[in-house]
């Protein structure tokens, strides 16, 4: 076999394997979402959201019942890819947890949970530029992106999150458009 045939064969195999990998990913996101799995794993979602916004001197995501908002947001979304990416991500978290530590995610200690979430954060990073935009358009957002986004929205719109986690003023006296934050000041909740 001469060099040209060898390079052509390797190129075709490389392109074919990449196409089949992304074809599998696309097919995985286009099916009907397993909503029952989502509803049966409330505790897993609560633990994952707690890793994103842990309890400190302010309430954490678990205490603020952010998992209820996450489940609601995923169920009410019209985008099958969005739903499937999140539900498949939950399944992958459980599988990765069992393969890595031999336990379910909810039974791990705090450090192990953080390592798993960090792993999914790294795997969910998008390509930069136009390639990332195309990937997002075809494959949708990554599991970690959806988890982080819905956790943040759920926390900031929850009663505990808005009142205790953010600076909340029920009846604002006046609007100050541009002001400096003081050290240790919470960000404002506007609802």
Check whether residue 101 and residue 19 sit in a common domain.
Answer: no
* Contact criterion met (CB below 8 Å) for 45 and 5: no
Query: Are 46 and 134 in a shared domain?
Result: yes
Domain that holds residue 20: 1-30
Answer yes or no: do 16 and 88 share one domain.
no
Would you say residue 187 lies in a domain?
no
Instruction: Determine the Cα–Cα distance for residues 72 and 104; give it in Å rounded to an integer.
Output: 24
pLDDT at 10: 74
Q: What is the pLDDT of residues 140-154, one digit of tens each?
A: 888 899 999 999 999
Looking at the domain assignment, is residue 52 inside a domain?
Answer: yes
**pLDDT tens across 47-105, in order?**
999 999 999 888 999 999 999 999 999 999 888 888 999 999 999 999 999 999 999 99
Domain shared by 22 and 90, yes or no: no
**Residue 189 domain flag:** no
Based on the domain organization, do 13 and 42 belong to the same domain? no
Same domain, 13 and 62: no
Residue 147 inside a domain? The answer is yes
Is 173 domain-assigned?
no
Higher pLDDT, 126 or 106: 106
99-109 core/surface letters (b: 16 or more CB in 10 A; e: else): eebeeebeebe
Whether residues 61 and 92 fall in one domain: yes
| 77 shares its domain with 20 | no
40 and 71 belong to one structural domain: yes
Is 80 contained in some domain? yes
The confidence band for 191, taking pLDDT boundaries of 50, 70 and 90, is very low
Kindly state whether residues 18 and 101 are assigned to the same domain.
Answer: no
> What is the C-alpha separation between 46 and 52, in angstroms, rounded?
10
Cα dihedral sign, 151-152-153-157:
positive
Question: Does one domain contain both 54 and 14?
Answer: no
Asked if residue 85 and residue 12 are part of one domain, the reply reads no
Question: What does the DSSP assignment read for the chain?
Answer: --HHHHHHHHHHHHHHHHHHHHHHHHHHHHS---HHHHHHTHHHHHHHHHHHS--SSS--TTTTTHHHHHHHHHHH---HHHHHHHHHHHHHHHHHHHHHHSS-GGGS-HHHHHHHHHHHHHHTPPPSHHHHHHHHHHH-S-HHHHHHHHHHHHHHHSHHIIIIISB--SS-S---SS-PPPTTPPPBP--
| Residue 171 within a domain | no
Measure Cα distances from 66 to 4, 24, 35, 88 in Å. Answer: 58, 32, 18, 20
Q: Express each pLDDT in 11-42 by its tens digit.
A: 776 766 665 655 555 555 566 777 898 899 99
Domain count along the chain: 2
State the residue for tokens 């954060």: 121
Q: Please report whether residue 38 resides in a domain.
A: yes
Distance CA 83, CA 87 (A): 6
């Amino acid at each position: 076999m001469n060099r040209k045939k060898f390079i052509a064969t390797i190129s075709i195999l490389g392109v074919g394997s990449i196409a089949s990998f992304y074809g599998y990913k696309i097919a995985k996101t286009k099916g009907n979402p397993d909503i029952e799995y989502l509803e049966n794993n409330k505790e897993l979602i609560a633990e994952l959201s707690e890793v994103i916004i842990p309890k400190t001197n302010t309430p954490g995501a678990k205490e603020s019942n952010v998992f209820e908002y996450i489940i609601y947001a995923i169920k009410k979304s019209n985008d099958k890819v969005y739903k499937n990416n999140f539900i498949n991500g939950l399944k992958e978290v459980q599988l990765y947890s069992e393969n890595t530590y031999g336990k379910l995610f909810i039974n791990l200690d705090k450090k192990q949970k953080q390592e798993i979430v960090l792993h999914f954060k790294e795997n969910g990073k998008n390509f930069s530029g136009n390639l990332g935009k195309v990937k997002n358009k075809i494959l949708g957002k990554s599991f970690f992106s959806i988890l982080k986004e819905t956790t943040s929205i759920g926390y900031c719109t929850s009663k505990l999150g808005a009142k205790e986690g953010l600076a909340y003023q029920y009846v604002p006296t006046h609007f100050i458009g541009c002001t400096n934050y003081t050290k240790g000041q919470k960000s404002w909740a506007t609802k």
